[in-house]
Structure 1
Amino acid sequence: MNIQPHEYKPIVMRYLNGEATHEEEAMIDAFIKQGEEQAALFNQWMEEWEANIFSTPAPAVDQAWQRLQNAIDHAEDEETSPAHTAATPSDSTPHIGRTVHMQWWHKAVAVAAIIVIIGCAAIWSFSGSTATQTYLCSAPAGSKTQVTLPDGSKVWLNGGSSLAYTNQFNNDNRRVELHGEAYFEVQKHQGKPFTVHTQGYDITVKGTKFNVSAYDNDPISTTTLMEGKVELSDGKQNLSLAPGDAVQLDKATGQLQRYATDGFADGWRSGRLMYPDITLEQFGRVLNRQYNVNVHLANRQCANMRISVMLQNNETIDEVASALTRITGHNITRNGDTLTIQ
């Protein structure tokens, strides 16, 4: 049967909604592989599906996500299991292994789902006759999400992070609330500051690029400025940052400390993580966010051990565990999504 290109659209929509049959999934796969024109059509239809999801009420979004998640899980089960080629690093830097991944369009759909559905959901609350709509954008552990705000500002969320803003967000009220880590590229609007509220302090921006790490369960929050100018205020102190500056907040003492940055604060966006001085317990939290693993310290005496780590080649969690074993001298094992340090 000869199917015209436009006849694939309803099949693609059924797939994106998690409703396609095995035969239809195979048809989509074959269609995309026909060439650039077909792949472009698939991308166009996926963008239309995303736009429709953004206008969908929150309960329906949750249902759509569940259907799509079921479809993705099924697709992963049918893919070839990941196979790794052993590689023995010659130094403390993890080496790259090789992995057989899902077909690229399955992966693209999964990413789209994270960005659109897990990434942003609408929550309604009412005060009198006025409806306030809060948009909550999040990146689950092991993933990253990019969000474009109504004023054109762009935000990249690291794993385990969330960003909230309301339907009152506009050029006169550019305020967001961050839990976790994010990199911001803020559009400049003359006389219209942009404010990031975190647990501990507010960051006021005129138009700039900066990184904020403010996870609720971390003892320290850090703001690093790449371009422009920002001002930090915790209600008691006000600090102005210049490019290359970073400020740490010790949540236990309330102390703010300024220091010169190494320029790699936003390396997590591209998979480059550099920690010249970090405790093993703190690094465990990094691994949880980057790889969605639970790190268990069976030996609490090693929690405060300080190490220097650099990840820059999209290393697998097994490669990271192997390197940590050599660096720390502790036995590190993995069972599913749990990493145990003994």
Structure 2
Amino acid sequence: MQTHKERYLWLFSRKLSGEILEEERQELETLVRTNPQLRKEGEALQAFWGQRGGHSDDDDTRSAFEKLKARMHATDPQMWPEQDAGAGGVKWWMLMVRMAAALIFFVAAWHIMVATGLVPGKEDGLRSEYNIRGTRSHIKLADGTSVWLNSDSELKYPLRFKGNKREVYLKGEAFFDVAKDASKPFLVYTEAMTINVLGTSFNIKAYPNDSTSETTLITGEVEVALKNKSEKKIRLRPAEKLVITNGMDSVKSLVPKAEPVIIKPTYSLKEDSAIIETAWVDNKLIFQDESFDHLASRMERWYNVSIRFENTAIQQLRFTGIFTKEPLSQALEALQLTEQFNFRIADDTVIIY
């Protein structure tokens, strides 16, 4: 049974050779959309293919490869179909040799770079992990800290922590379960604040385009420094949430002077143990008395779509509920049960009217 990755490599190789059919091209595009991590492999193989355009191999290598190809065809004829002889066959053989060489090259290069710390995606000694909308991931850092990275979010972190601090950089949302090490404080930098912690679990929501950033402490203790007021330190205790307005180091409409405010996390009325701010870690999108406008922003990241309102009044509708594995259309239909609105879906865009 072929995997998505194996099927992708097969289709991509046919694209490089110029022999891909239109229906195969469409299948290739679908695989990339549903498995975005495959795109990087395709880009790497594309670059290697271009660099080795004039390479030729000897008859012994070709004979060995023909035997390998025969075994591949016998194992899974559908995945590895036989190719016609002649010029096209030679072209195909050359392609597969190059792809095999490329795979060996990149596997070897990867191990060398991991050993030396020169990992792809690094910037100033940092690795970078980005989740597109609709995807979430779990990252284990070198010190044993676990990070759950939400959709449309990026985490930059070193392969190994050096010196007397553990530093990472976040854009978007992540839940941290930090390994205790009193001698090395753990610091998370966002555009609006810096969170300093010795060992605890907490959630940070810091999307650059959102109006506010939040830090929700679950266990332990953290100290938050605001970007434009570094001298001001705010300590949080368990079950407290700090909310600030992005770009202003303040909270809009929460207090008269728009200062940072500490409030309690929101517990779901339908699930007593569920904290709304961290429910996404358990693949739950929980909302309680939330405006449609704000909920739409969360649904865009959750479902990897763009939501547009044609009637601004609808943006003020308020909803309470939980989404887990519901497809987008079913989720919108569920919202229609409590408030009146219409929608239509065109590709990856939702129009609300």
What is the TM-score with the length of structure 1 in the denominator?
0.62
Stretches of 4+ aligned residues off by more than 6 angstroms? 11-14
How much has 1:195 moved relative to structure 2?
0.5
Structure 2 equivalent of residue 310 of structure 1: 321
* Matches of 2:234 and 2:196, distance apart in 1: 10
Distance 1:283 1:17, change over 3 A: same
- Partner of 1:142: helix, strand, or coil? coil
1:268 matched to 2:277? The reply is no
Counterpart mapping for 1:188-207 below 5 A: 188-207=180-199
- Partner of 2:344: helix, strand, or coil? strand
Deviation digits for residues 159-203 of structure 1 (CA, Å, limit 9, x no counterpart): 100001235633623111111110111101122110011121111
Greater strand share, 1 or 2? 1
Distance 1:236 1:298, change over 3 A: farther
Which residue, 227, 230, 243 being the options, matches 2:222?
230
Deviates more, 1:192-201 or 1:244-253: 244-253
How much has 1:207 moved relative to structure 2?
0.7
Which residue, 198, 207, 212 being the options, matches 1:215?
207
Counterpart mapping for 1:232-271 below 5 A: 232-234=224-226, 235-251=230-246, 253-255=248-250, 256-261=260-265, 262=267, 263-271=275-283
Structure 2 equivalent of residue 280 of structure 1: 292
Structure 1 equivalent of residue 44 of structure 2: 63
Asked if the contact 1:140–1:159 (Cα under 8 Å) also holds between the matched residues in 2, the reply is yes
Asked if the contact 1:171–1:189 (Cα under 8 Å) also holds between the matched residues in 2, the reply is no
Structure 1 equivalent of residue 343 of structure 2: 332
How much has 1:219 moved relative to structure 2?
0.4
Asked if the contact 1:272–1:310 (Cα under 8 Å) also holds between the matched residues in 2, the reply is no
Structure 1 equivalent of residue 9 of structure 2: 18
- Partner of 1:266: helix, strand, or coil? helix
- Partner of 2:208: helix, strand, or coil? coil
Structure 2 equivalent of residue 298 of structure 1: 310
- Partner of 1:237: helix, strand, or coil? strand
Counterpart mapping for 1:64-79 below 5 A: none
Asked if the contact 1:151–1:171 (Cα under 8 Å) also holds between the matched residues in 2, the reply is no
Deviates more, 1:266-275 or 1:282-291: 266-275
Asked if the contact 1:123–1:133 (Cα under 8 Å) also holds between the matched residues in 2, the reply is no
Q: Whose relative contact order is higher, 1 or 2, with alpha carbons under 8 Å and at least 6 apart?
A: 1
Over the aligned positions, Cα root-mean-square deviation in angstroms equals 3.2
How much has 1:327 moved relative to structure 2?
3.0
Asked if the contact 1:153–1:184 (Cα under 8 Å) also holds between the matched residues in 2, the reply is yes
* Matches of 1:267 and 1:323, distance apart in 2: 19
Distance 1:124 1:158, change over 3 A: closer
1:321 matched to 2:332? The reply is yes
Deviation digits for residues 237-277 of structure 1 (CA, Å, limit 9, x no counterpart): 21111111111112254221101113232111222222223
How much has 1:319 moved relative to structure 2?
1.3
Q: How many residues align?
A: 239
How much has 1:123 moved relative to structure 2?
3.4
Identity %: 25
* Matches of 2:41 and 2:141, distance apart in 1: 22
Asked if the contact 2:177–2:201 (Cα under 8 Å) also holds between the matched residues in 1, the reply is yes
Deviation digits for residues 65-104 of structure 1 (CA, Å, limit 9, x no counterpart): 999xxxxxxxxxx9xxxxxxxxxxxxxxxxxxxxxxxxxx
1:177 matched to 2:159? The reply is no
- Name which one, 1 or 2, has greater alpha-carbon Rg: 2
Unmatched 5+ residue regions in structure 2?
Answer: 13-39, 49-78, 80-109, 111-118, 251-259, 268-274
Deviates more, 1:248-257 or 1:209-218: 248-257
* Matches of 1:268 and 1:175, distance apart in 2: 24
* Matches of 1:252 and 1:208, distance apart in 2: 27
Counterpart mapping for 1:84-95 below 5 A: none
Structure 2 equivalent of residue 165 of structure 1: 157
Distance 1:192 1:17, change over 3 A: farther
